[in-house]
Amino acid sequence: MHIHILGICGTFMGGIAQLARAAGHSVSGSDANVYPPMSTQLQAAGIDVLQGFEPSHLDPAPDCVVVGNVMSRGRPIVEYMLERGMPYTSGPQWLAEHVLAQRWVLAVAGTHGKTTTASMLAWIMEDAGLAPGFLIGGVPQNFGVSARFGEAPFFVVEADEYDTAFFDKRSKFVHYRPRTVTLNNLEFDHADIFDDVAAIRRQFHHLVRTVPANGLIISNSVDAELETVLAMGCWTPVERFAVAGICPDWSVGEGAADGSRFEVRWQGKVQGTVNWDLLGQHNVANALAAIAAARHAGVPVPQAIDALGRFENVRRRLELLADIGGIRIYDDFAHHPTAIASTLAGLRARVDGERIIALLEARSNTMRLGVHKDRLAAALNAADEVRLLRPAGLTWDIEQMAAPLGARVRVFDSVARMADHVGSETRAGDHVLIMSNGAFGGIHQLLIDRLRAMRVGAESPS
């Protein structure tokens, strides 16, 4: 079967492409933004990617068009597909019918931590010899790819609450029919498709409705929204986890303040201690959820704890890109105030009093709409210096938002000027944290190049 994917370079749709290719299908695709890492993954899998969304990409007609949620009515290629009566489906529906059917699906849902928790879970199961399939919205460094068909029966999927397609406005995760579900947290996000948190809560309730009575729901006990979701109706056993306070199921004991070491407790009994390279209490919570999900699939808790000691995290999750003359540059996907605050708290616990310079691109649809602007300054408070990029067309006052940060903050309209400024102000011992859910205009490499050039210039003989 020949499958053509519209929006193939997104992490989810690119994963669908790799799974379809592994299943023996002929796969091609179209996208307006063709760049690494997904473009290189697709190339390595032997998948042809066409630039743009031209109707001619569907000539000759494929056997099925898989439509990404980036596509909308009015696009010429969509209208061409509809007018000619081509068979089409969504990515989640194709995944459910062609990959997940008859498999033990372990789904990881939540506003934050989905990618990291799903990656931890896949790695724990891989380390245990279970060879799971997976589809994750990032690149787990233990695997080097975002999707793998794997061996039956287990499949780990990052369960996104974003809508499915222009013709199916349900959340993606309602298609997956999981046996094991992790609910990390629930906050208002995706303001471009949800009116309020109640609308998201309803979609989570729909997910809960699909979990069988012989399955398991693993839920963050300190999240009031998740407790509300479960109170709306639940027909499945629930295990809860928490990194603070009292939790009868999964909790933590003694550990390091930065989250690099912590005891895992199940029903009050210590099961072992995780020692790893990750930072932050948010990652401790992610780990508890992954351990609990793996246990449901048959992985003994001590074995899961041991596996996490070899977990290499996901690219763009506090990923150290370079250390240039003692100036450390990190890349992180954080773009919601909760995630920004958690990432900074983890880094602060690790570096203590050393200077943190936080660079933020307010890029997500929710951020650009100003939904979280009143929480943003407080989320950035752990940074010593803050540098903000003002996106074109921003409708709210970013300087007013940042005013509580005082002299610590500067706003830039140009990525190049921001890179030049940060490059000139950094010194040995600084930690530069770059946060965006996009490419941030290539500032990562611009800054690295600037710092390397400055170092070469300083070392050159006069």
Among the listed residues 36, 27, 33, the one whose alpha carbon sits nearest the alpha carbon of residue 5 = 27
d(CA 313, CA 276): 10
Q: What CA–CA distance (Å, rounded) separates 213 from 224?
A: 23
Tell which residue, 275, 265, 260, has the closest CA to residue 301. 265
pLDDT in tens, 8-40: 988 899 999 999 999 999 999 999 977 667 778
Q: Where are the domains of the chain?
A: 2-91, 102-308, 319-459
State the pLDDT confidence band at 122, using cuts at 50, 70 and 90: very high
Cβ 60 vs Cβ 36: under 8 Å: no
The predicted pLDDT at position 462 comes to 47
Tell me how far apart the alpha carbons of residues 76 and 53 are, in angstroms, rounded to a whole number. Answer: 8
Fold of 2-91: Rossmann fold (3.40.50)
Lowest pLDDT segment from 35-39, 63-67, 335-339, 419-423: 35-39
DSSP run (H or E) holding 3 = strand 2-6
Query: 319-459, what's its fold?
Result: Protein-Tyrosine Phosphatase; Chain A (3.90.190)
| Stretch 225-229: mean pLDDT | 96
User: Given a cut of 80, is residue 227 above it in pLDDT?
Assistant: yes
Question: Do 102-308 and 319-459 fold alike per CATH?
Answer: no
More confident residue, 394 or 353: 353
Fold classified for 102-308: UDP-N-acetylmuramoyl-L-alanine:D-glutamate ligase (3.40.1190)
> Can you say whether the dihedral through the CA atoms of 196, 201, 207, 210 is positive or negative?
negative
Strands annotated E in 221-318: 238-241, 250-255, 261-266, 269-275
Q: Does 100 score more than 90 pLDDT?
A: yes
Res 53 pLDDT > 90? yes
What are the E-state strand segments in 110-257? 133-135, 147-148, 154-158, 163-165, 168-171, 180-183, 216-220, 238-241, 250-255
pLDDT value at residue 458: 53
Q: What are 152-198's pLDDT values in tens digits?
A: 999 999 999 989 999 999 999 999 999 999 999 998 777 677 888 89
Q: For residue 399, count other CB atoms closer than 10 A to its CB.
A: 11
What is the predicted pLDDT for the residue at 123?
A: 97
Instruction: Work out the percent of the chain whose per-residue pLDDT is above 70.
Output: 96
φ, ψ for residue 264 (rounded to 5)? -105, 130
Is pLDDT above 70 for 370? no
Q: How far apart are CA 361 and CA 163, in angstroms?
A: 24
Burial 117-142 (b: 16+ CB within 10 A, else e): bbbbbbbbbbbbebebbbbbbbbbeb
Contacts with 445 (C-beta within 8 Å, 6 or more apart), sequence order: none
pLDDT at position 437 = 79
